[in-house]
């Protein structure tokens, strides 16, 4: 069975998780973590420091040895808030590529929230109904409202513990003025969150990340004498990972008055977490009170689990996560189409014909299975560029798709979809094109073939929203026939459009294309 690996390069630490596919699910076989403080210099100067780069790279090389030892078949390396903000992020990406061979993908805050949601919802028992997810990292805080395991709304706020510590709390113990200004910023960002997320009554609040874990343990031990045995209720709360809001507020106030050695001695916090826990505790206290929440439950699941779950969903059609991922992707495509004024009545026949061509010509085009979904997305989104300008709208379409937040699609996948939609006019894919610049060269041949399938499906739909044609494709050793059944108004325009693609078809597939009436 295949083995997957996920690496999360965060603003505070790097994390690795390796899992093996067992009975269409995931079984964790290795985990590792290293505090590297990648974001500490970014939030001050806008640049990742050479020391932070070197420390992160050392951790990645250790992770690489584990990946090789466990025979990982597929992996994904993502970076979050610090890399989103760093002006020298491309230089660090190149360094990681040169030293490890890995492509470090910088994901948006919304994609980070979506993946965390996927990891928690897929693997956390009892996480159904209405749930609020909170992930407080080093550079950002992702808040997601979920109902019945579906995202209702998500937002990413610049309230990471490392970011706030670097900006407001560089003196120990925390200065009163710094705490005041930090609370003002937190309150301002939470007001922005309230405009997006109307949580109402939430029966379950789940927090992830190291700060949440530290607060839970500290909340359940801080008020007890060290050697007194825990009462049954207290032991149960610690086991369940619960942190009530009043206790979090009291702990936040207490930590803000402590020196670093005192914070290090608090159970659950430790030396490295003690440096940033004041800011993290303040964010949690303000957030819980602002949303009127009773507290939160800690989950050890997070971004890495979401990455692994998505890889499983893409590889195993029988996995429970597969249908959820496909539905999530398609809803995101439709939402993007609606946002840019696409007429779905005219887009749907193009999508249906593109998928029919994909299936009937599969022995000819030999495209990987994932291109079926990407082709469908490109068919629906091909006219989004008209929202900007009808003239040159194919170029605008390419930019809109590659830049849009579409849940379930990685940046590379969005770039591929945007390239498919780009070449539906006079231009054809060329290796040096801007649209192909960020796509691996071994994908260019696939894109060229998928583009041709989409061009044929567009040719079959010349303003026929209410009179959709039927066709059948037949493949022979030297030629391909597309037999079209005429509609109420005939099919002359469609036949002419199909014959225009014959030269390009011969160039790509080495066979003649014949369009005839059935």
DSSP 21-57: EETTEEEEEEEEEEE--TTTTHHHHSS--HHHHHHHH
C-alpha–C-alpha distance, residues 375 and 367, integer Å: 11
DSSP structure class, residue 229: P
Q: What is the pLDDT of residue 235?
A: 34
User: pTM score > 0.85 for this model?
Assistant: no
Burial class for 403, CB neighbours closer than 10 Å (0-12, 13-18, 19+) = exposed
Q: What is the pLDDT of residue 432?
A: 85
517 neighbors 481 (Cβ within 8 angstroms): no
Q: What is the pLDDT of residue 233?
A: 37
CATH of 3-107, one of 3.30.1360.20, 1.20.1540.10, 3.30.1370.60, 3.30.420.40: 3.30.420.40
Q: What is the pLDDT of residue 465?
A: 62
458 neighbors 424 (Cβ within 8 angstroms): yes
Which residues in the chain come in under a pLDDT of 70?
222-240, 463-466
Three-class secondary structure of residue 301 per DSSP: coil
Phi then psi dihedrals of residue 334, to 5 deg: -65, -40
Kindly state the helix (H) or strand (E) to which residue 112 belongs, with its residue range: helix 109-123
Domain ranges of the chain: 3-107, 125-300, 317-464
CATH topology of domain 125-300: Nucleotidyltransferase; domain 5 (3.30.420)
How many residues does this entry show for the chain? 518
The CA-based diameter of the chain, rounded to the nearest angstrom, is: 88
C-alpha–C-alpha distance, residues 390 and 398, integer Å: 13
DSSP structure class, residue 16: E
Instruction: Give the Å distances, CA to CA, from 328 to 44, 151, 322.
Output: 37, 9, 10
pLDDT tens digits, residue range 435-445?
A: 998 899 999 99
- 190 beta partners: none
C-alpha–C-alpha distance, residues 12 and 274, integer Å: 12
C-alpha–C-alpha distance, residues 283 and 249, integer Å: 10
Structural domain 317-464, CATH architecture:
Orthogonal Bundle (1.10)
DSSP 357-379: HHHHTHHHH---TTHHHHHHHHH
Q: Do domains 3-107 and 317-464 have the same CATH topology?
A: no
C-alpha–C-alpha distance, residues 418 and 398, integer Å: 5
219 neighbors 244 (Cβ within 8 angstroms): yes
């Amino acid at each position: 069975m295949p083995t997957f690996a996920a690496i999360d390069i965060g603003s505070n630490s790097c994390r690795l998780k390796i899992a093996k596919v067992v009975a269409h699910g995931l079984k964790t076989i290795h985990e590792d973590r290293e505090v590297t403080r990648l974001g500490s210099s970014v939030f001050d100067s806008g640049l990742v420091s050479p020391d932070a780069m070197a420390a992160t790279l050392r951790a990645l090389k250790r992770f690489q040895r584990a990946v090789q030892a466990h025979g990982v078949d597929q992996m994904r390396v993502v970076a979050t808030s610090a890399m989103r903000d760093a002006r020298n992020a491309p230089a660090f990406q190149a360094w990681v590529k040169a030293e490890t061979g890995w492509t470090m993908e910088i994901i948006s805050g919304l994609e980070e929230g979506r993946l965390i949601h996927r990891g928690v919802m897929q693997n956390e028992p009892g996480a159904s109904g209405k749930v609020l997810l909170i992930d407080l990292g080093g550079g950002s805080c992702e808040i997601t409202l979920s109902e019945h395991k579906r995202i209702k709304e998500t937002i990413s706020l610049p309230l990471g513990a490392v970011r706030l510590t670097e900006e407001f709390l560089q003196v120990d113990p925390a200065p009163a003025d710094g705490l005041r200004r930090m609370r003002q910023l937190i309150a301002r960002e939470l007001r922005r969150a309230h405009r997006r997320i109307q949580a109402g009554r939430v029966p379950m609040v789940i927090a992830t990340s190291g700060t949440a874990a530290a607060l839970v343990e500290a909340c359940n031990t801080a008020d007890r004498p060290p050697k007194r045995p825990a009462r049954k209720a207290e032991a149960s709360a610690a086991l369940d990972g619960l942190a009530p809001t009043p206790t979090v507020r009291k702990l936040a106030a207490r930590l803000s008055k402590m020196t670093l050695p005192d914070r290090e001695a608090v159970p659950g916090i430790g030396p490295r977490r003690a440096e940033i826990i004041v800011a993290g505790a303040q964010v949690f206290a303000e957030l819980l009170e602002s949303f009127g929440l009773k507290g939160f439950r800690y989950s050890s699941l997070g971004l890495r689990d979401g990455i692994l779950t998505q890889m499983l969903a893409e590889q195993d059609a029988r996995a429970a996560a597969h249908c959820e991922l496909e539905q999530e992707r398609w809803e995101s495509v439709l939402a993007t189409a609606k946002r840019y004024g696409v007429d779905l009545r005219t887009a749907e026949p193009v999508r249906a014909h593109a998928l029919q061509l994909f299936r009937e010509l599969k022995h000819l085009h030999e495209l990987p299975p994932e291109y079926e979904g990407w082709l469908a997305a490109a068919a629906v989104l091909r006219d989004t560029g008209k929202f900007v300008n009808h003239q040159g709208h194919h170029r605008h379409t390419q930019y809109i798709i590659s830049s849009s937040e579409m849940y379930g699609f990685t940046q590379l996948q969005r770039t591929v979809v945007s390239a498919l939609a780009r070449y539906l006019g006079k231009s054809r894919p060329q290796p040096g094109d801007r649209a192909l610049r960020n796509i691996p060269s071994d994908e260019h041949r696939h894109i060229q073939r998928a583009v041709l399938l989409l061009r044929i499906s567009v040719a079959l739909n010349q303003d026929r929203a209410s009179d959709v044609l039927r066709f059948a494709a037949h493949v022979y050793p030297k030629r391909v026939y597309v037999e079209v059944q005429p509609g109420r108004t005939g099919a002359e325009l469609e036949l002419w459009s199909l014959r225009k693609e014959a030269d390009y078809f011969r160039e790509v597939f080495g066979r003649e294309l014949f369009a005839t009436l059935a």
